Amino acid sequence: MPILSAQNILLRFGGPPLLDNVSFDIEAGDRICLVGRNGEGKSTLLKVLTGEMDTNSGEIVKKSGLKVARMIQEIPAHLDGTVRDIVMGRVPVVSGGSVISKKILDDGAHNATAEAILGKTGIDADAPYDSLSGGQKRRVLFARAVAEDPDLLLLDEPTNHLDIPAIQWLEGIVTRLSCAVMFVSHDRAFVRRTATRIFELDRGRVRSWNFPYDKFVQFRDQALAEEEKANALFDKKLAEEEVWIRKGIQARRTRNEGRVRALIKMREERAARRSRTGNVNMQITEADRSGRLVARLKNVSYSYDGSPLINDLSTEISRGDRIGIVGPNGSGKTTLLRLILGELQPESGEVRLGSNLHIAYFDQMRTRLREDKSLVENIGDGQAYITLNGVKRHVLSYLQDFLFSADRARGPISALSGGERNRLLLACLFSHPSNVLVLDEPTNDLDMETLDLLAELLADYNGTVLTVSHDRAFLDSVATGILAIEEDGHVFEAVGGYSDYEANKKLRDKEAANAARIAAEKEAEKQARSNAGAAAAASPAPAKKKKRSYNEEREYAALPEKIEKLEKEIADFQLELSKPEVYTNAPLIVELQKKISDAEAALEQAYERFEILDNLG
């Protein structure tokens, strides 16, 4: 039985409906990703579900006593109180001038839940909210929503401004929650790891797909191809009927009134058809090639407030490299970019820049946009035309390539959403000749289709790309190398995308753990020999090695069979999970994933127990 049902929801602000008779059900335990192009109304739909926004018609039917919590997309710039005050719900959270989350009354159950999630944030509970970074504030707001112990949790762009470790932390929490979750996200890796269903908001309608993300993309593309084919046949038939009626009038023949009525209906259907939002048409204006060397860093170090950000880095960046820079928030990724570009001087070491560098810079704070100017003025600098790769283009025409209408292009920047601002900054960036593109957090607020096009564009770019991003799928698509800022400012250089770096790091962590274990074992052996020698000197009686008891002997003999059985169970569950029919059964996917997790935990315990018993005589 659904915990929430949307029934024929209509919402219109003028023009085509934003929500056009939308209907869907949410079941207990669902993890639903709401996808759609920028501006389709995803955040609005979440507000409708919480009752924060009224609709023109339709109804939201909720299970009796249903508790709904929403994590807002916009991070409040200021809130009075500590992290604990926010998570406990003692402080109202305000967005856009209105309170959207009321004070929660303290009670034992709520306090226990709040304290549990508070401890998992890794943030000092007594720290003032206003002292936190943007990513930390987002984690606190997420913890607050979870602390309400809702039956349905709504998350609006929860990964924005989070670093990769924080996103992975969020993935772990979301997949373990017992409540239903519905979230908006453009982070493909996060969606792949968390969503069991997809809701697609497209042209005012919501389509429900009972598949994980990759399966949804496959079926959606098939459905769009079939829709395009059907529309083409319809348009062809309409054109034929229009020719027929014109010829009939010219020949003054008696017309078939039924056919005329059918034509009028076809005209109405064609007028009511809503076209799918087009794709951004991006191209980069390229400058003459740079020299082979773009930048060479030798033993470069830089610190801030006495803490090392970059520690003894030596690397070389060549023409055509596409480098992804990763690391936790506050680790110095933007600082590293500025050192590479020569904007910052290192405390020690040397930076050498190559020749004929034409750099275009996309900054995450969008400070290069002039807020007092219109979109047209930001692009054209007062000129009606710009030149792109030798071709003269009107500024309005160029902005249409980035999905800005003429009216929008002449309007102020202040009216733009986050995604629109990022598209405008890309338009500004690509209109100037460059052979080095520097992109600091370019993926925030961009929809998946635009991210795909940006990745394809960068792959074909003849120049050099330096990008800071927490979007793992984007880095895998774009990067040919990774510079990862790790502990104490040490920068690890890896070949390939983020997945290659992550696999390398896991291998290095495993090797380090093994080395530490071996060292500890040797130290323990040395200590044991020392203790044995001391004991032997004190007493002639030799110490006996502990042997397995009768029960331990039986347990030891049974463990190999138990381990083999668990390994077979895991393989069987994984085989079942890979079957095509399972993709349509979200509860079964969740059940199989839990069985695999439980079996893997039991297998690890069995291995550890076998090793302990094996070391006994």
HEC profile for 515-574? HHHHHHHHHHHHHHHHHHHHHHHHCCCCCCCCCCCHHHHHHHHHHHHHHHHHHHHHHHHH
CB of 173 closer than 8 Å to CB of 146:
yes
- At residue 221, the 3 state secondary structure works out as helix
Amino acid identity, residue 150? Answer: P
C-alpha distance from residue 300 to each of 75, 327, 591 (Å): 35, 17, 51
CB of 422 closer than 8 Å to CB of 282:
no
Distance CA 437, CA 351 (A): 18
How much is the pLDDT for 613?
A: 79
What value, to the nearest 5°, has the Cα angle with vertex 509 and ends 504 and 514?
125
For 258-292, b/e burial (b = at least 16 CB within 10 A) is eeeeebeebeeeeeeeeeebeebebebbbbeebee
Closest residue by Cα to residue 69 from 97, 50, 93, 45: 50
- Give the sheet arrangement for strand 31-35, strand by strand: 68-71, 152-156, 180-184, 31-35, 197-202, 205-209
CB of 104 closer than 8 Å to CB of 88:
yes
- At residue 609, the 3 state secondary structure works out as helix
The residues, ordered by sequence, that sit 6+ positions from 139 with a Cβ below 8 Å of its Cβ are 121, 122, 123, 162, 166, 169, 170
CB of 403 closer than 8 Å to CB of 277:
yes
How much is the pLDDT for 10?
A: 93
C-alpha distance from residue 565 to each of 148, 575, 592 (Å): 41, 15, 17
CB of 398 closer than 8 Å to CB of 426:
no
Distance CA 166, CA 141 (A): 13
How much is the pLDDT for 372?
A: 77
- At residue 167, the 3 state secondary structure works out as helix
CB of 282 closer than 8 Å to CB of 430:
yes
Distance CA 211, CA 206 (A): 15
Closest residue by Cα to residue 45 from 211, 144, 183: 183
CB of 144 closer than 8 Å to CB of 86:
yes
What residues are paired with 92 via a beta bridge?
none
How much is the pLDDT for 201?
A: 92
Residue written as tokens 């006495």?
A: 306
Closest residue by Cα to residue 43 from 75, 74, 13, 4: 74
CB of 66 closer than 8 Å to CB of 58:
no
The residues, ordered by sequence, that sit 6+ positions from 601 with a Cβ below 8 Å of its Cβ are none
The DSSP H or E segment spanning 421 is helix 418-430
Distance CA 287, CA 399 (A): 21
How much is the pLDDT for 107?
A: 55
Distance CA 486, CA 73 (A): 29
Structure token digits, residue 78: 């200021």
Residue written as tokens 């401890």?
A: 119
Closest residue by Cα to residue 355 from 265, 293, 436: 293
What residues are paired with 466 via a beta bridge?
323, 438
Distance CA 302, CA 374 (A): 39
The DSSP H or E segment spanning 349 is strand 348-353
How much is the pLDDT for 586?
A: 65
For 417-432, b/e burial (b = at least 16 CB within 10 A) is ebbbbbbbbbbbbbbe
**End-to-end CA gap in the chain:** 58
How much is the pLDDT for 541?
A: 53
Compute the Cα dihedral for 578, 582, 584, 587 and give only its sign.
Answer: negative
Taking the mean position of all CA atoms in its chain, how far away is CA 602? 32
How much is the pLDDT for 539?
A: 60
- At residue 598, the 3 state secondary structure works out as helix
Q: Along the chain (617 residues), what's the average pLDDT of each consecutive run of 10 residues? A: 93 85 94 88 91 92 93 84 89 55 51 80 88 86 90 92 89 92 93 94 90 87 82 86 74 66 84 70 82 94 89 94 91 91 93 92 68 83 82 88 84 76 83 89 80 86 92 92 93 93 89 86 83 69 64 84 86 76 69 82 83 75
Distance CA 170, CA 155 (A): 11
Residue written as tokens 């192009």?
A: 37
Compute the Cα dihedral for 135, 141, 143, 145 and give only its sign.
Answer: negative
Structure token digits, residue 337: 């970019």
What residues are paired with 323 via a beta bridge?
466, 481
Closest residue by Cα to residue 563 from 594, 608, 607: 607
Give the pLDDT confidence of 584-602 residue by residue, as tens digits.
676 777 787 788 878 888 8
Going through 457-518 in order, the beta strands assigned E by DSSP cover 464-468, 481-485, 491-495
CB of 476 closer than 8 Å to CB of 494:
no
The torsion region of residue 119 among left (phi > 0), alpha (psi -120 to 50) and beta comes to alpha
Distance CA 453, CA 297 (A): 32
| Angle between helical axes of 134-147 and 108-120 (0-180°, round to 10) | 150
How much is the pLDDT for 249?
A: 58
Distance CA 331, CA 342 (A): 19
